[in-house]
Amino acid sequence: MVLLALPLEASPERSTPNNPWPGRDMKRKAMFRITVLLAGVLLMGGLTGLQTQAEENLQGVITKLQARYEGLQDLESDFTQVTQFKGFSTTLTSKGRTYLKKGKLRWDYLEPSKQQIFVDGDQVLFYVPEHQQVIKTRLSIELDSQVPVRLLAGTGHLDRDFNVRWRDETKHRGMDGAYLLSLTPKTPATDFTEIQMEVNPQDFLIQKIILQEPGGNHSTFEFSGIKSNHGLKDRLFNFDIPKGVVVVEQP
């Protein structure tokens, strides 16, 4: 997750068991890792030891955020992702739809190229249609930090794993009224240095996330058309391998 999720160009190299992420496919690995981190944040664990206070008080906002997400059984949303590289003026944009349920994730990139990520517990399937391949691996292998794994599994706690503060101590809200939060890992992580959140003040759902890398790159995810607790079926998170598609397993 130190690396960023990118709109991906075709790579001439195909994956092999000994090298499931060849050449440019390292970008696909990066996409997978940062997506899992994002999923963990969206389906975060509890925030223990917080007292309900005035809404503009930081702990009061976090408590309301906690209550909202503790009541979530599932979540689906459209997303737009913009990746900015340090030292470059151009950005890369991709769009798609995500589906989340406790311990499960489906992330569909639709533009500019199609690919899918399925996470169920520790198992991960990464489908790249243009290569007619599925990369099968495990979270515990791919992620440097275990914080996203705990969050995705529902065993993490933001106040245990992160220092949570206002993004700007003098300005707690954005122009649209969203609460502006900053999360930094309590244990130094090679995957990320900071997670910035914008929280809708009406429904206390996260509407924007910015993931900062140690190298200065960052990805911004904006969510729209959010639906929660619509009874997403488990079969939505199952991936049936198409005929003719090769499965490459991470050793």
Q: Convert the pLDDT of each residue in 156-167 to its tens digit.
A: 566 677 888 999
Write the pLDDT tens digit of every residue in 130-141.
Answer: 889 998 888 776
Asked if the model's pLDDT at residue 21 lies above 70, the reply is: no
Contact between 207 and 199 under an 8 Å Cβ cutoff? The reply is yes
62 domain-assigned: yes
246 domain-assigned: no
Residue with tokens 């292998």, as numbered in its chain: 141
Contact between 117 and 125 under an 8 Å Cβ cutoff? The reply is yes
- Which of 50-59, 82-91, 123-132 is predicted with the least confidence, judged by mean pLDDT? 50-59
How high does pLDDT run on average in the chain? 76
- Phi, psi at residue 173, to the nearest 5°? -125, 150
pLDDT at 68: 83
Better pLDDT: 3 or 27: 27
CATH code, domain carrying 68? 2.50.20.10
108 domain-assigned: yes
Give ∠ CA 44-47-50 in degrees, rounded to 5.
Answer: 160
CB neighbourhood size of 239 (10 A): 15
174 domain-assigned: yes
54 domain-assigned: yes
pLDDT at 49: 42
Give ∠ CA 196-138-116 in degrees, rounded to 5.
Answer: 65
In this prediction, residue 145 has a pLDDT band, given cuts at 50, 70 and 90, of low
pLDDT at 218: 84
Share of residues in the chain with pLDDT > 70 (%): 68
179 domain-assigned: yes
4 domain-assigned: no
Write the pLDDT tens digit of every residue in 59-76.
Answer: 888 888 878 877 888 989
pLDDT at 53: 41
- Boundaries of domain holding 93: 23-226
- Averaged pLDDT for residues 107-128: 88
Give ∠ CA 61-169-39 in degrees, rounded to 5.
Answer: 50
The set of residues, in sequence order, having a beta carbon less than 8 Å from that of 30 and lying 6+ positions away, is 1, 2, 3, 4, 5, 6
In this prediction, residue 95 has a pLDDT band, given cuts at 50, 70 and 90, of very high
Most distant CA atoms of the chain, gap in Å: 58
In this prediction, residue 103 has a pLDDT band, given cuts at 50, 70 and 90, of confident
CA–CA distance, 245 with 242 (Å, rounded to integer): 6
Write the pLDDT tens digit of every residue in 215-248.
Answer: 888 888 999 999 999 999 999 999 999 999 999 8
pLDDT at 20: 47
What total number of domains does the chain contain? Answer: 1
In this prediction, residue 36 has a pLDDT band, given cuts at 50, 70 and 90, of low
Share of residues in the chain with pLDDT > 90 (%): 25
Please give the radius of gyration of the chain, using alpha carbons only, rounded to the nearest integer.
18
Q: In what order do the strands lie in the sheet with 179-185?
A: 162-166, 179-185, 194-199, 206-212, 218-228, 74-84, 91-101, 104-111, 115-120, 123-128, 133-138, 246-249
Verdict on whether the full-model pTM lies above 0.85: no
The set of residues, in sequence order, having a beta carbon less than 8 Å from that of 197 and lying 6+ positions away, is 41, 179, 180, 181, 182, 183, 206, 208, 209
Let me know how long the chain is. Answer: 251
pLDDT at 226: 92
CB neighbourhood size of 124 (10 A): 24
34 domain-assigned: yes
